[in-house]
Amino acid sequence: MSERYLVTGCAGFIASKVTDLLLTAGHTVVGVDNLNDAYDTRLKDWRLAQLLPRRNFQFQRLDIADRTAVEPLFKAADGNPPFAAVVNLAARAGVRQSVTNPWVYYEANCTGTLNLLDMCRRSGVRKFLLASTSSLYGKHNQVPYREDADTNRPLSPYTASKKAAEALAYSYHHLHGLDISIPRYFTVYGPAGRPDMSVFRFIRRIAEGESIVVFGDGTQSRDFTFVEDIARGTVAALRPLGYEIINLGGDRVVTLRSIIDQIAELLGKTPKIEYRPAHPADVPTSSADVSKAARLLGWRPQVSIEEGLRRSVEWYHANRDMARTLELCDRLE
Protein backbone atom coordinates (compact mmCIF):
# COMPACT_ATOMS: atom_id res chain seq x y z
CA MET A 1 0.00 0.00 0.00
CA SER A 2 1.31 3.44 -0.93
CA GLU A 3 1.94 5.73 2.05
CA ARG A 4 3.04 9.32 2.58
CA TYR A 5 6.19 9.93 4.62
CA LEU A 6 8.05 12.95 5.93
CA VAL A 7 11.83 12.52 5.69
CA THR A 8 13.93 15.22 7.31
CA GLY A 9 17.49 15.94 6.22
CA CYS A 10 16.62 14.47 2.81
CA ALA A 11 19.73 15.88 1.11
CA GLY A 12 21.91 14.16 3.69
CA PHE A 13 23.94 11.03 3.12
CA ILE A 14 21.66 8.49 4.79
CA ALA A 15 18.36 10.31 4.33
CA SER A 16 18.78 10.64 0.57
CA LYS A 17 19.18 6.87 0.29
CA VAL A 18 16.20 6.23 2.60
CA THR A 19 14.14 8.61 0.45
CA ASP A 20 15.24 6.73 -2.67
CA LEU A 21 14.14 3.40 -1.20
CA LEU A 22 10.73 4.75 -0.15
CA LEU A 23 10.13 6.28 -3.58
CA THR A 24 11.22 3.09 -5.33
CA ALA A 25 8.68 1.20 -3.23
CA GLY A 26 5.94 3.47 -4.60
CA HIS A 27 5.47 5.78 -1.62
CA THR A 28 5.16 9.57 -1.56
CA VAL A 29 7.91 11.43 0.27
CA VAL A 30 7.88 14.99 1.52
CA GLY A 31 11.55 15.79 1.99
CA VAL A 32 12.84 18.72 4.02
CA ASP A 33 16.37 19.99 4.51
CA ASN A 34 17.89 23.34 5.44
CA LEU A 35 20.96 22.60 3.29
CA ASN A 36 23.28 23.96 5.98
CA ASP A 37 27.02 24.34 5.49
CA ALA A 38 28.18 21.78 8.08
CA TYR A 39 30.10 20.38 5.12
CA ASP A 40 30.44 21.39 1.46
CA THR A 41 26.89 22.03 0.22
CA ARG A 42 27.71 20.96 -3.33
CA LEU A 43 27.47 17.35 -2.23
CA LYS A 44 24.02 17.96 -0.72
CA ASP A 45 23.01 19.67 -3.96
CA TRP A 46 24.23 16.61 -5.91
CA ARG A 47 22.18 14.21 -3.79
CA LEU A 48 19.09 16.41 -3.98
CA ALA A 49 19.44 16.63 -7.75
CA GLN A 50 19.08 12.83 -7.93
CA LEU A 51 15.75 13.05 -6.05
CA LEU A 52 14.04 16.12 -7.49
CA PRO A 53 13.00 14.51 -10.80
CA ARG A 54 11.47 11.52 -9.02
CA ARG A 55 7.74 11.05 -9.14
CA ASN A 56 5.97 11.54 -5.78
CA PHE A 57 8.87 13.51 -4.27
CA GLN A 58 8.19 16.95 -2.84
CA PHE A 59 10.95 19.12 -1.40
CA GLN A 60 10.82 22.03 1.02
CA ARG A 61 13.84 23.90 2.31
CA LEU A 62 13.38 24.54 6.02
CA ASP A 63 15.02 24.12 9.42
CA ILE A 64 13.31 21.65 11.77
CA ALA A 65 14.51 23.75 14.72
CA ASP A 66 12.16 26.51 13.48
CA ARG A 67 8.78 25.52 14.90
CA THR A 68 6.81 28.04 12.83
CA ALA A 69 8.35 26.61 9.65
CA VAL A 70 7.62 23.00 10.65
CA GLU A 71 3.99 23.46 11.65
CA PRO A 72 2.50 23.91 8.12
CA LEU A 73 3.89 20.52 7.09
CA PHE A 74 1.45 18.80 9.44
CA LYS A 75 -1.82 20.20 8.18
CA ALA A 76 -4.16 17.23 7.95
CA ALA A 77 -6.10 16.42 4.79
CA ASP A 78 -9.71 15.28 5.22
CA GLY A 79 -9.14 14.85 8.94
CA ASN A 80 -6.51 12.13 8.43
CA PRO A 81 -2.94 12.28 9.76
CA PRO A 82 -0.68 13.97 7.21
CA PHE A 83 1.95 11.21 7.25
CA ALA A 84 2.16 7.49 7.90
CA ALA A 85 5.42 8.21 9.70
CA VAL A 86 8.00 10.91 10.33
CA VAL A 87 11.56 9.77 9.58
CA ASN A 88 13.81 12.22 11.41
CA LEU A 89 17.25 11.93 9.85
CA ALA A 90 18.03 15.65 10.05
CA ALA A 91 20.86 16.19 12.50
CA ARG A 92 24.01 18.15 13.01
CA ALA A 93 26.64 15.42 12.86
CA GLY A 94 30.34 15.30 13.68
CA VAL A 95 31.90 14.50 17.03
CA ARG A 96 34.88 16.85 17.02
CA GLN A 97 33.22 19.97 15.65
CA SER A 98 30.58 19.76 18.37
CA VAL A 99 33.28 20.38 20.98
CA THR A 100 33.89 23.87 19.61
CA ASN A 101 30.31 24.77 18.66
CA PRO A 102 27.84 22.80 20.81
CA TRP A 103 24.93 25.23 20.49
CA VAL A 104 24.11 24.41 16.88
CA TYR A 105 24.02 20.71 17.81
CA TYR A 106 21.52 21.33 20.58
CA GLU A 107 19.23 23.31 18.26
CA ALA A 108 19.22 20.78 15.43
CA ASN A 109 19.27 17.55 17.40
CA CYS A 110 17.19 18.45 20.47
CA THR A 111 14.92 21.37 19.58
CA GLY A 112 14.35 19.99 16.07
CA THR A 113 13.40 16.57 17.40
CA LEU A 114 11.06 18.10 19.99
CA ASN A 115 9.30 20.16 17.32
CA LEU A 116 8.66 17.09 15.19
CA LEU A 117 7.53 14.92 18.10
CA ASP A 118 5.05 17.52 19.25
CA MET A 119 3.68 18.01 15.73
CA CYS A 120 3.18 14.25 15.50
CA ARG A 121 1.24 14.35 18.77
CA ARG A 122 -0.92 17.23 17.63
CA SER A 123 -1.64 15.92 14.13
CA GLY A 124 -2.20 12.24 14.93
CA VAL A 125 0.94 10.84 13.30
CA ARG A 126 1.59 7.67 15.28
CA LYS A 127 4.97 6.50 13.96
CA PHE A 128 8.23 8.35 14.57
CA LEU A 129 11.75 7.23 13.66
CA LEU A 130 14.74 8.99 15.17
CA ALA A 131 18.22 8.36 13.83
CA SER A 132 20.79 7.98 16.61
CA THR A 133 24.45 7.08 16.93
CA SER A 134 26.86 4.44 18.14
CA SER A 135 28.85 7.25 19.78
CA LEU A 136 26.49 6.90 22.75
CA TYR A 137 28.29 3.74 23.86
CA GLY A 138 31.44 5.70 24.69
CA LYS A 139 34.62 4.08 25.97
CA HIS A 140 33.38 2.24 29.04
CA ASN A 141 31.12 -0.46 27.57
CA GLN A 142 32.19 -3.93 26.48
CA VAL A 143 32.11 -4.68 22.76
CA PRO A 144 30.15 -5.64 20.81
CA TYR A 145 27.72 -3.02 22.06
CA ARG A 146 24.20 -4.08 23.01
CA GLU A 147 21.26 -1.71 23.01
CA ASP A 148 20.83 -2.07 26.79
CA ALA A 149 24.39 -0.88 27.51
CA ASP A 150 24.93 2.24 29.63
CA THR A 151 24.78 5.40 27.50
CA ASN A 152 24.97 7.98 30.30
CA ARG A 153 28.58 9.03 29.72
CA PRO A 154 28.58 10.99 26.43
CA LEU A 155 32.07 12.06 25.33
CA SER A 156 31.01 15.02 23.17
CA PRO A 157 28.19 17.57 22.89
CA TYR A 158 27.09 15.83 19.69
CA THR A 159 26.64 12.57 21.57
CA ALA A 160 24.92 14.33 24.46
CA SER A 161 22.47 15.97 22.04
CA LYS A 162 21.52 12.60 20.56
CA LYS A 163 21.07 11.13 24.03
CA ALA A 164 18.73 14.02 24.84
CA ALA A 165 16.77 13.40 21.64
CA GLU A 166 16.35 9.73 22.56
CA ALA A 167 15.05 10.75 26.00
CA LEU A 168 12.54 13.17 24.44
CA ALA A 169 11.34 10.41 22.12
CA TYR A 170 10.78 8.05 25.03
CA SER A 171 8.79 10.65 26.93
CA TYR A 172 6.47 11.13 23.94
CA HIS A 173 6.05 7.38 23.68
CA HIS A 174 5.23 7.14 27.38
CA LEU A 175 2.90 10.16 27.57
CA HIS A 176 1.25 10.13 24.16
CA GLY A 177 1.58 6.59 22.85
CA LEU A 178 3.78 7.39 19.87
CA ASP A 179 5.33 4.33 18.23
CA ILE A 180 9.07 5.06 18.27
CA SER A 181 11.97 3.39 16.46
CA ILE A 182 15.51 4.56 17.18
CA PRO A 183 18.19 2.98 14.99
CA ARG A 184 21.71 3.63 16.22
CA TYR A 185 24.04 3.84 13.24
CA PHE A 186 27.64 2.59 13.20
CA THR A 187 30.16 4.47 10.98
CA VAL A 188 28.22 4.77 7.75
CA TYR A 189 30.13 5.01 4.45
CA GLY A 190 29.45 4.62 0.74
CA PRO A 191 28.98 6.51 -2.55
CA ALA A 192 28.34 10.25 -2.09
CA GLY A 193 29.39 9.92 1.54
CA ARG A 194 30.09 12.86 3.79
CA PRO A 195 33.42 14.60 3.01
CA ASP A 196 34.12 15.03 6.73
CA MET A 197 34.10 11.25 7.27
CA SER A 198 37.19 9.09 7.03
CA VAL A 199 36.36 6.91 4.00
CA PHE A 200 35.59 9.84 1.70
CA ARG A 201 38.65 11.74 2.92
CA PHE A 202 40.90 8.74 2.41
CA ILE A 203 39.63 8.09 -1.12
CA ARG A 204 39.95 11.72 -2.11
CA ARG A 205 43.41 12.27 -0.67
CA ILE A 206 44.91 9.02 -1.94
CA ALA A 207 43.38 9.50 -5.41
CA GLU A 208 44.78 13.02 -5.66
CA GLY A 209 48.19 12.23 -4.17
CA GLU A 210 47.56 14.23 -0.98
CA SER A 211 48.54 13.33 2.57
CA ILE A 212 46.02 11.55 4.81
CA VAL A 213 45.58 12.80 8.36
CA VAL A 214 45.04 9.99 10.88
CA PHE A 215 44.27 10.79 14.51
CA GLY A 216 45.95 8.14 16.64
CA ASP A 217 48.09 5.33 15.29
CA GLY A 218 45.62 3.83 12.80
CA THR A 219 44.84 0.78 14.94
CA GLN A 220 41.54 2.24 16.14
CA SER A 221 38.70 0.21 14.69
CA ARG A 222 35.15 0.83 13.54
CA ASP A 223 32.11 -1.20 12.58
CA PHE A 224 31.87 0.31 9.08
CA THR A 225 28.36 -0.02 7.62
CA PHE A 226 27.44 0.47 3.98
CA VAL A 227 24.84 3.18 3.40
CA GLU A 228 22.41 0.93 1.51
CA ASP A 229 22.38 -1.53 4.40
CA ILE A 230 21.67 1.34 6.80
CA ALA A 231 18.84 2.61 4.59
CA ARG A 232 17.27 -0.87 4.38
CA GLY A 233 17.34 -1.20 8.15
CA THR A 234 15.85 2.25 8.61
CA VAL A 235 12.93 1.50 6.29
CA ALA A 236 12.40 -1.87 7.99
CA ALA A 237 12.18 -0.07 11.35
CA LEU A 238 9.08 1.83 10.18
CA ARG A 239 6.96 -1.17 11.17
CA PRO A 240 5.03 -0.98 14.49
CA LEU A 241 7.45 -1.67 17.34
CA GLY A 242 6.16 0.27 20.36
CA TYR A 243 9.44 1.75 21.53
CA GLU A 244 12.69 0.15 20.41
CA ILE A 245 16.35 1.13 20.11
CA ILE A 246 18.08 -0.99 17.46
CA ASN A 247 21.73 -1.20 16.43
CA LEU A 248 22.46 -1.09 12.70
CA GLY A 249 26.10 -1.98 12.13
CA GLY A 250 28.36 -3.77 9.70
CA ASP A 251 28.86 -6.70 12.09
CA ARG A 252 32.59 -6.71 11.31
CA VAL A 253 35.22 -4.48 12.91
CA VAL A 254 37.99 -3.09 10.67
CA THR A 255 40.96 -0.89 11.58
CA LEU A 256 41.50 2.48 9.93
CA ARG A 257 44.85 1.28 8.64
CA SER A 258 43.15 -1.66 6.91
CA ILE A 259 40.65 0.73 5.29
CA ILE A 260 43.50 2.91 4.04
CA ASP A 261 45.37 -0.09 2.62
CA GLN A 262 42.28 -1.40 0.79
CA ILE A 263 41.49 2.01 -0.71
CA ALA A 264 45.10 2.44 -1.80
CA GLU A 265 45.00 -0.94 -3.52
CA LEU A 266 41.75 -0.10 -5.31
CA LEU A 267 43.27 3.18 -6.52
CA GLY A 268 46.65 1.66 -7.34
CA LYS A 269 48.47 4.29 -5.29
CA THR A 270 50.68 4.49 -2.21
CA PRO A 271 49.14 6.51 0.63
CA LYS A 272 50.97 9.34 2.37
CA ILE A 273 49.97 9.33 6.04
CA GLU A 274 50.35 12.11 8.60
CA TYR A 275 49.69 10.92 12.14
CA ARG A 276 48.31 13.27 14.80
CA PRO A 277 47.37 12.72 18.47
CA ALA A 278 44.05 11.01 19.13
CA HIS A 279 41.16 13.32 20.00
CA PRO A 280 39.68 12.90 23.53
CA ALA A 281 36.15 12.72 22.08
CA ASP A 282 37.04 9.72 19.91
CA VAL A 283 36.57 6.11 20.96
CA PRO A 284 39.21 3.44 20.21
CA THR A 285 36.69 0.97 18.82
CA SER A 286 33.03 0.53 17.97
CA SER A 287 31.32 -2.78 17.36
CA ALA A 288 27.62 -3.54 17.06
CA ASP A 289 25.65 -6.47 18.36
CA VAL A 290 23.01 -6.61 15.59
CA SER A 291 21.07 -9.62 16.87
CA LYS A 292 18.14 -7.41 17.86
CA ALA A 293 17.88 -6.01 14.33
CA ALA A 294 17.87 -9.56 13.00
CA ARG A 295 15.15 -10.59 15.43
CA LEU A 296 12.83 -7.57 15.13
CA LEU A 297 13.47 -6.45 11.55
CA GLY A 298 14.80 -9.51 9.77
CA TRP A 299 17.83 -7.35 8.97
CA ARG A 300 21.49 -8.11 8.60
CA PRO A 301 24.19 -6.21 6.70
CA GLN A 302 24.65 -7.55 3.18
CA VAL A 303 27.45 -5.47 1.64
CA SER A 304 30.99 -6.44 2.67
CA ILE A 305 33.59 -3.79 3.40
CA GLU A 306 35.51 -4.88 0.30
CA GLU A 307 32.46 -4.45 -1.96
CA GLY A 308 31.41 -1.22 -0.25
CA LEU A 309 34.83 0.37 -0.68
CA ARG A 310 34.90 -0.70 -4.33
CA ARG A 311 31.55 1.01 -4.96
CA SER A 312 32.72 4.11 -3.11
CA VAL A 313 35.87 4.37 -5.22
CA GLU A 314 33.82 3.85 -8.40
CA TRP A 315 31.51 6.70 -7.39
CA TYR A 316 34.51 8.95 -6.81
CA HIS A 317 35.90 8.20 -10.26
CA ALA A 318 32.50 8.79 -11.90
CA ASN A 319 32.07 12.13 -10.11
CA ARG A 320 35.70 13.17 -9.80
CA ASP A 321 35.30 16.62 -11.38
CA MET A 322 33.04 17.60 -8.48
CA ALA A 323 34.35 15.30 -5.74
CA ARG A 324 38.01 16.31 -5.99
CA THR A 325 37.11 19.98 -5.38
CA LEU A 326 34.93 19.43 -2.30
CA GLU A 327 36.15 21.07 0.87
CA LEU A 328 37.45 18.53 3.35
CA CYS A 329 37.78 18.92 7.10
CA ASP A 330 40.22 16.71 8.96
CA ARG A 331 38.92 17.93 12.34
CA LEU A 332 35.70 15.94 12.05
CA GLU A 333 34.87 12.26 12.18
Q: What is the distance, to the nearest Å, from the Cα of residue 110 to the centroid of all Cα atoms in its chain?
A: 16
198, amino acid identity = S
Q: How far is CA 158 from CA 105, 233, 245, 291, in A?
A: 6, 23, 18, 26
CB 110 within 8 A of CB 171: no
Residue 121 to residue 89: CA distance in whole angstroms: 18
Residue 210 to residue 239: CA distance in whole angstroms: 45
3-state secondary structure of 166: helix
CB 150 within 8 A of CB 159: no
167, amino acid identity = A
Assess whether 170 carries a catalytic annotation.
no
Q: Choose the catalytic residue: 137, 145, 158, 189.
A: 158
108 DSSP β-pair partners: none
- Active-site residue set: 158
